[in-house]
Each structure stands twice: as structure tokens, then as C-alpha cells.
Amino acid sequence: MADNGGLEGVVVADIDTSYIDGSIGKLIYSGYTIEDLAENASFEEVIFLLFNTRPPERGEYEELRSRIAENAVIPADVIEMMRSLPRDTAAMAVLRTAVSMLSAYDADGENLSDKERAKAKAFRLTGQITTICAAWIRIAGGLEPIAPRRDLSVAENFLYMTSGADPDPTACAALNVYLVLLAEHGMNASTFASRVVTATGSDMHSAIVAGIAALKGPSHGGANSEAMKMFLEIGAVDNVVPWFEKHIKTGERRIMGIGHRVYKSNDPRAGILKRHSKALAESSGKRKWYDIAVKLADTARADDYFIKRNLYPNVDYYSAILLYTLDLEIDMFTPLFVMSRIAGWSAHVIGQMGGRLIRPKANYVGPQGLHWVPLDKR
């Protein structure tokens, strides 16, 4: 096998959406640092930035915000399909199926040649994915889904549709930061999957379904729920060190939410999420999980194995605490990642449209020169 296992270091496109310098823990979206955006931008402004490489004027921002909210309604048939699924279906499988089904109801579903129409479809999908996530929480809990409101942002609408109550401003602000931080991240596995599908000339829904499928894996977006399961298994701050000795020092398991293909120093998103999850944990009186996460990260960071391999908490580590503190079921963590990353995926889909087919080579290591013996003579 060539020495680029996992395609590490292979450049596959020129992009203007995000830039990562993993050696110093730097991430920018179209020129703006992630720290600046997390502090000052709304998710909708970030969507505009990723599509236009500039921030929106007020009118453009208002227009995008209402366009997403107005298009967030999902067809009754999609709700019925979700109702028909077993209640214990993985939420990512529900989302993958529902997004695929949406293409049949999108008047522009099959088109992937016009960039403006593709953008409109991306905004529809952004609103609809928010609604699917909230609707599944309600359906899985035996409740009626709640329709989206036209006056709310993505973060506000999601929280509103899960409870039916006016969303709490602190929860909205925390969720907005989460959505900003996870919106885009270079040529990660799910984005690459979306681009491969787009490069075949396929449609936007297919590309986004491919992104969802790739994000589902525990080595990628599925790590946030695995991290939370790990914190719950540890159960108390005093159990952290014995748990680490038993499962990690022996090499039996990996710490989920630690390590990254690109960041060989701090993942800047992890630090911001750590701060926000701490504030949220304190304001809700649920500090225990945050304390366990910090203790485990500190234990790992003091260990030679983690030091030598430059393993630091990644975006999924403190996301788990933030989402759990927002009272979300663990199964919903990765769908929430999709709610944000739809922005990056669709910006990449539009960037890839009209580009050349992505078709790498494989290195054949099988036998040669054999002769086929018909079945009845074998």
C-alpha cells in the first residue's frame, strides 16, 4: 500500500470555505477565525459567509434567516414514514432515510446544474433537517411533532420544536455556538463523500445523504455520542483514573473524542466548547459530566502515550457535554452535528458542481494469470 493510508496529506480541491493549520490549532472560515465567529456570529451569518465568502448585510441576513425558517416544513408523508419506523431506530438512520425521501417531494430534486437553485435547495434542506431532528425527538418519545415557526432562527426553532415552549435564551446561545463551530471543516470524510457524489453529476439530496452516511461512523461524527456513553460509564470523577488505567493504559479502548487526523495540537473548537459547556453545566446545576470530562482529558494529557502521539480533545469531546446538558438524548448528538454541517457540505457541493469526476486508483495486490474452470468441472 502506498504510504498515504487514509489519503492522509492528499489535496483534492481548492476551497475558500475553511482553512485549518493543525500544527497550531488554527481554524478559519473564509478569513475569520473560529474564535471570532463563535463569539460574534449567528449560524445563519456563517451559512451566508460559507456561500459567499463575505458576511451578509442586515437585509441579506434577515432574508436568509426567514428563507430557512419558511422552508423548514416537511411533507406529511415524511412525518408518516418516521412514525412508521421502530422507535429504537438509530436517529442517524432516521435522518438519512428522511433526507433521501425529501428529494421525491422537492420540485427541484433532480437538478444539480444551476448553482443558484442548488443554494435554494441547500437552504430548504437546512430548515428541513432541523425539523426532522426535532420531529424524531417527539415521535421517539411518543409525542406529536411540532411545526416550525417562521420567525425563529435555526437554533431557536429546533429548541422550540422539541418542547413547544419559547426557547430559553441561554440554551439558544449555546446551541448557536455549537452550530457555528461545526458548520465547516475542510476536506473531512463526510464532506469528501458529498463531493465524490457531486462529482458524478448526481443531485444535492444524494450528496447530503452520502455526507450523513459518512458522518454516522464513530471515527467521525459518531464520536460525540460515544464520548458521552464513556462519561456515563465512568459515572463519577473519582472513577476516572481507575477507568483510564483499566481501559486505556491497557490499550483495550480509545478515548472517544480525543485525537484528530489534522490537529496535532489543540482543536480550537474543543476549547470554545469546553468554556460553553462549563457555563451551561453551571447554570443548569449539572456539573458532574463536565468535571468527569475535564478530569479524563487532563489524565490523558499527562500520559506519555497521549503526549507522544499529540492526542488532544477534538470537537466531539466537549460537544457531548454541551448537548447532554441541553437535555438531548445521546442518539440525537450526531443528527445535531448534521444540523450544522449541512452548511459546509452544501457549500462544498456547490463548489464541486461542474468539476471533474473524482476517481482515484487502487493498488492491485491479488493473483494474476489464473484460468477460470467452469462450475461443473471444479
Q: Is the dihedral of CA 196, 197, 201, 203 positive or negative?
A: negative
Nearest distance in Å: CB 358, ligand ACO = 20
Give residue for cell 473524482: 358
Nearest distance in Å: CB 172, ligand ACO = 23
Q: How far apart are CA 213 and CA 97, in angstroms?
A: 10
C-alpha cell recorded at residue 36: 471570532
Nearest distance in Å: CB 356, ligand ACO = 26
* 166 catalytic per annotation: no
119, 205, 216, 220: residue in contact with ligand ACO (rule CB under 6 A) = 220
Site string for ligand ACO, 258-277 (x = CB under 6 A): xxxx----------------
Nearest distance in Å: CB 141, ligand ACO = 27
Q: How far apart are CA 350 and CA 122, in angstroms?
A: 9
Based on CB atoms, which residue is closest to ligand ACO, 138 or 341? 341
Looking at 260, 276, 331, 348, which residue is catalytic? 260
66, 219, 239, 266: residue in contact with ligand ACO (rule CB under 6 A) = 219
CB atoms within 10 A of CB 187: 17
By CB under 6 A, is residue 313 in contact with ligand ACO? Answer: no
DSSP structure class, residue 247: I
According to CB under 6 A, which residues from 273 to 312 bind ligand ACO? 309, 311
Asked if 319 and 340 count as a contact pair (C-beta separation under 8 A), the reply is no
**Exposed, middle or buried: residue 280 (CB in 10 Å: 0-12, 13-18, 19+)?**
buried
Q: What is the CB-side half-sphere exposure of residue 177 using CA atoms within 13 A? A: 27
By CB under 6 A, is residue 316 in contact with ligand ACO? Answer: yes
Q: Which one, of 224, 216, 228, 211, lies nearest residue 90 by Cα?
A: 216
150, 254, 286, 287: residue in contact with ligand ACO (rule CB under 6 A) = 254
- Residues acting as catalytic residues: 260, 316
Please report, as ranges, the residues that interact with ligand ACO according to CB under 6 A: 6, 219-221, 223, 254-261, 309, 311, 314-316
